[in-house]
Structure 1
């Protein structure tokens, strides 16, 4: 399989399926397309009809774009890896908070863009962004209490954790106020080998975008 992704420093959506594949130990080829270059869209369109990353190209040549669709495909193809929680109620809960992440939190996305290399404590903290952060903190805290941690649905890193992994990166960069439970969760996610590998790769990247890296 191939996974077409953008820069690891900037591409939050690319991080989600990449981390899940790595965490499951499934072999794949990564194809990195640097973002916001004149040929970026054309290069992505060679694989994905949406012109956006990520896109998974399966071993039989099928292209799957959109992160949740990729995660569901992985769950179907590799049931032994428990992409979603095995309990039906927990699985429904995990899909709900993952869909909320997929569709929401626009203020956070706009004002605290992903940049692994940057340190921007206190920046981007608009009222709308802080409301998004409070909702995410509440989601995490509820899951950790209900399922016992250290991950959102218990002892195993699952698709819901992959969906929120780029948020962990943003919170490291911007250092907003968070509950003790949320900070503990961030430490556990940051220690996941696949997440550490993504962060390390991001810091080594040489492609830079001035509009996103002005203070990185």
Structure 2
């Protein structure tokens, strides 16, 4: 099983299936592709005609898009119980994943994932706050319902936790204030060994996207490779 991913510092879409596989203990080969380079399209095209990361390749089967990959992995490894067993709870889990997958555009655009940066207050506006409030409400509701069953959104680890992991990273980067229950969940996720592994690897990357980080200059990262869109 191979997983094609973008830069760990920036690729929120890649983090989802990577964390799902890593935390679930499913073995895979990681194939990194550098974002925003002229070779990116051709590099990804070797694995998927969609031309985007992430891509999962498993014994001749190619799956792209983080939600499709998650569904495939859950079906491929039913013993991992990556969706809740109860049908109603599973429907709720799929609903919040789909909402995360297709929504929160203001948060995404104003607070892009940047694992290694510390930017408290940057990117905030009223529309972003509405997205933050909605995500916090989802987390608080799920923790209130399923907290007795374990520390994850639905008690046990599920696709939902993998889907919200990039938002956890964003909230840390931009110093977003959260209600107590939502903050406790975010802190727990940040401390997860798989998340710490991703964060550590992001810190080892030398690329940074100049258009996304105009505040970061070359002297800040003397060994950096600056990528211009």
Q: Does 1:35 align with 2:31?
A: no
* Cα distance in 2 for residues equivalent to 1:42 and 1:97: 33
* Cα distance in 2 for residues equivalent to 1:112 and 1:76: 33
Partner of 2:174: 174
* Cα distance in 2 for residues equivalent to 1:157 and 1:119: 28
Q: Deviations over 1:96-150 (max 9, x none)?
A: 0000000000000000000001111011111111100000000000000011152
* Cα distance in 1 for residues equivalent to 2:75 and 2:31: 23
Partner of 1:153: 154
* Cα distance in 2 for residues equivalent to 1:55 and 1:168: 22
Partner of 1:122: 121
The answer for unaligned runs of 5 or more in structure 2 is 217-229
Q: Does 1:100 align with 2:107?
A: no
Q: Deviations over 1:39-68 (max 9, x none)?
A: 10111111111100000001x221100111
TM-score (norm 1): 0.96
- 1:26 deviates by 1.0
* Cα distance in 2 for residues equivalent to 1:88 and 1:194: 28
* Cα distance in 1 for residues equivalent to 2:114 and 2:145: 31
* Cα distance in 2 for residues equivalent to 1:214 and 1:204: 20
- 1:201 deviates by 0.6
TM-score (norm 2): 0.91
Partner of 2:71: 72
Q: Deviations over 1:139-188 (max 9, x none)?
A: 0000000111521001x221000000000000000012210111100111
Matched-pair contact (CA < 8 Å) for 1:118–1:213: no
Runs of at least 4 residues off by over 3 Å: 213-216
Q: Deviations over 1:55-103 (max 9, x none)?
A: 0001x22110011110000111100001111121111110000000000
Deviates more, 1:64-73 or 1:203-212: 203-212
Q: In structure 1, the residue corresponding to 2:99 is in which secondary structure?
A: helix
Partner of 1:16: 16
- Structure with higher RCO (Cα < 8 A, 6+ apart): 1
Once superposed, what is the RMSD of the aligned Cα atoms? 1.0
- 1:190 deviates by 1.0
The answer for unaligned runs of 5 or more in structure 1 is none
- 1:30 deviates by 0.6
* Cα distance in 2 for residues equivalent to 1:147 and 1:89: 13
Q: Does 1:140 align with 2:123?
A: no
Q: In structure 2, the residue corresponding to 1:64 is in which secondary structure?
A: strand
Q: In structure 1, the residue corresponding to 2:209 is in which secondary structure?
A: coil
Number of equivalences = 214
Partner of 2:56: 56
Q: In structure 1, the residue corresponding to 2:3 is in which secondary structure?
A: strand
- 1:206 deviates by 1.1
